[in-house]
Amino acid sequence: MAFYQEERDRPETEKRRGLRLVCQEFEKEHLKETGEAIKLSHATLARLVKGGVALARFNESKSWLLKEEVEQVIECARAVADRGFPSSHRRLKEHVDEICRARLGSNFPKQGVARGWTQRFVTKHSDRLTMYKPRPLDKSRARGVNPTANAAWFTLLAETLEKGDDGKPIAQECCWAADESGFQSGLGETQEKVIGGKGKKSQYQQHEGDRENITAIVTIGADGSSLPPAVIFKGQAYQSSWKQDNPANAS
């Protein structure tokens, strides 16, 4: 807008760039600097120059939430997800309705925000929020994941790898890590999707974890080698059929 207005202020004796040419030049400049191709509308530029309002700003004026409230809702959704209690669309709607009722009172609809509002909210802020199908996380394991415990563990690990038992670094082929993952046979994954911060491979959701588990143990070396996994589950006797259809050669 500023560039086009400067062009309009030029003397009539000088050549002036029109709306289309200004848009084309800024498209080329943006492509050169970012490598991203964009399309600018000369009609939109003309409307803005005449005092029109950008669509994004117009939509903000119709939003139930203020700008600072939007930030609070996003940060709250990310924070509770990191603690193992991610919000569903229903819970997010309840949260937004409470905020709007507290500020707007009787001017806010009794039924709250419209159906589908939360889906559009997550889509609009997809750079910070996304939908997940949650994986169960036992409460005791959730409490053990905290910055203090993580920092202490990695500090101890680094010192051990550097010094070893005899003051010499431990070779990679001597470093092995084992981990287990429990599968609750009596409790399937929930079909309700939840909201969490974008960028994670999975979103955990805390459960009681009092059901019988099938445990899988995997072991991998620092040099990239691995051992066949082991699977532990309750049974009165070993069955040979358990070894069938076993591409991982698990024991």
* Calculated CA dihedral for residues 247, 249, 250, 251, nearest 10 degrees: 150
Contacts of 157 (CB under 8 A, 6+ apart): none
pLDDT for the residue 196: 83
CB 78 within 8 A of CB 125: no
User: Is residue 240 scored above 80 in pLDDT?
Assistant: no
The percent of residues in the chain predicted with pLDDT above 90, rounded, is 20
2-53: pLDDT as tens digits: 888 888 888 877 888 888 888 898 899 888 888 888 888 888 888 888 776 5
Which distant-in-sequence residues (6+ apart) come within 8 Å of 53 by Cβ? none
Domain boundaries, the chain: 2-59, 63-132, 135-188+212-243
**Residue range 86-107: average pLDDT?**
92
Q: Which residues contact 203 (CB under 8 A, 6 or more apart)?
A: 81, 86, 132, 133, 134, 135, 194, 196
The per-residue pLDDT for 97 is 95
Tell me the mean pLDDT in the region 98-111: 92
